[in-house]
Chains A and B, each alone.
Chain A
Amino acid sequence: MDLRSQETILRLAEEHGPQSLVVILGAPDPESAEIAAETVVLGDPAYAGALAGVQLGLEVYHVLELQEVTPAEVWEEHVGVMADVLDASGLTTAVAGIREQGAANS
């Protein structure tokens, strides 16, 4: 994850409290989704950014998990085709796996 994004997420978590933040990912494949989710839940696995060694335990989802809470017309206009081409099952499973690890650690 971009180092500046890590810094901003850490600052937001410190300002508002980790419990008030939700992270929504737009990763195209399960591998990158898992790394991004791991970074905001368990810490930066690359030990390169501000979240290295920082277990924020943030609530994290892939954007494809937002369909149920997003008005249908907005979903179709903005996500639409991407929802058809992305590996929804693999993406949501990857992110859910990290989410569960975070819940187990809290």
Chain B
Amino acid sequence: MLTDLKGRKVVALGERDGVSGPTIAACVEAAGGEVAFVATECFV
């Protein structure tokens, strides 16, 4: 279980059919993490 994101550098790797990268990034930033990379991929 993830307990803390404060001060961590985070790769937000979303997927088009799931949760997008920007959505993940919004949660990460609100949780105190630092977003280092954001992408939304299409898994095939």
Contact = CB atoms under 8 A, between A and B. Distances in A.
Given A12-B36, A68-B2, A70-B27, A22 B19 contact: no
B4 to A, nearest CB: 6
Chain B contact patch, size range: 20 to 34
A61 B28 CA distance: 12
Using C-beta atoms within 8 Å of the partner chain, give the interface range for chain A.
35 or more
Contact of A66 (B2, B15, B18, B40): B2
Contact of A82 (B8, B18, B32, B37): B18
A9 B13 CA distance: 10
Interface string A26-37: 111100100110
Contact of A61 (B2, B17, B32, B37): B2
Interface of B: 1-5, 8-15, 17-21, 23-24, 26-28, 30-33, 36-37, 39-41, 43
